[in-house]
Amino acid sequence: MKLTPYQLSIFNDNAYLFAEQAEIALKKLLEKKHLYQSVEVGSLTFLNFPGDVPNWDFDQWPPERSYHPDDPQFDTELDYTEDAIRAMRWTIMTTPHSPGWFISVKNQTFVDVSLPIHPPPVQLYCKVCKRKTAYNFLLGYDVFEEAPVTFYWNKNESEQVFVLVYQCQTCRSQPEVFLIQRHRSTIDQFTPARLTLTGRMPLETPIIPRNLPKKERKHFRNAVIAFDSGQALAAKFLLRIFLEQYVRGVATNPEVRSIESLFDEYNATLPDDFKQRFPSLKSIYDQLSEDIHAADETPEIFETAKQKIVEHFDAKRVFKISN
């Protein structure tokens, strides 16, 4: 790929902006998203262009993709440079980058076309500290870059897979490892760069409300993990198990086969004021059952049910009703 002097100016003035957008996307992915969820890297619509073109000898520019600034085709050249920044390979850096050294140039051609990315610090839940805290980036690399062979999928798309290692800066316990897939565009066919969280070690620990009954809390946690991994139907099933196991656990005769009678017995233990003001576990159970039998994978019912369950047990604490 030929690089004209003006393209080089654009590249060095703007590549760091895209690197910053990539780092913002990484932070959002690690802090806000869960397994198999994705984010897109921001656009380059705010490209900076040099105000003055240096007094180069334009007649000496390479003939390919090299237009004088007064030429109508010059805008096409700028678009080409912008797409090149989007499509270029990322290199994970262990130290922060600085603008102006993204490529080296020899004889007006790209020699090392890569964008240095320094993954930022993130806020994650620490099992040891039992709270969200700051995690520092330790190391990272592109799996395919380290492989002894080059991987190709097809002529229009290419992939990168990064391993990123973070550690809690408070307790400095076992580091956590993330596997992130980058689906990047090419100059021939532009699509926004997309990052997907495809793996994590250890598995994410969701924050579970403290007012939920301890014995059945594991089913609630597993439901949240399933939902965050994109398995809404399985999540509904696990949430229904949480409800069923809870009402069996508080029943005078847990061996009763009729789930209806178990919910009726539980409901009879609640004050009338409570039942009028707060969600019924039986109604939540019935809605989840309806979705499960219909194989309905839409997420809204799960999110609503989860919220109502939390509200129910928070209210029991306010009313000083034992679980």
Q: How many residues does the chain have?
A: 323
Instruction: Yes or no: say if 102 and 115 are a contact pair by the CB < 8 Å rule.
Output: yes
Query: pLDDT per residue over 105-121, tens digit each?
Result: 444 444 456 788 999 99
Query: pLDDT per residue over 8-65, tens digit each?
Result: 666 666 777 788 888 999 999 999 999 889 998 866 554 545 444 444 343 443 333 3
The pLDDT score that the predictor gives to residue 203 is: 86
Question: Any bridge partners for residue 124, and if so which?
Answer: 133
Q: By C-alpha distance, which of 280, 284, 287, 288 is closest to 316? A: 280
The pLDDT score that the predictor gives to residue 113 is: 60
Rounded to 10°, the helix 217-228/232-249 angle is 170
- For the chain, which residues score pLDDT lower than 50? 1, 46, 48, 50-69, 99-101, 104-111, 153-157
The pLDDT score that the predictor gives to residue 186 is: 53
Question: Is the pTM here over 0.75, yes or no?
Answer: no
The pLDDT score that the predictor gives to residue 141 is: 92
The pLDDT score that the predictor gives to residue 73 is: 55
The pLDDT score that the predictor gives to residue 111 is: 45
Structure token pair of residue 67 = 């237009």
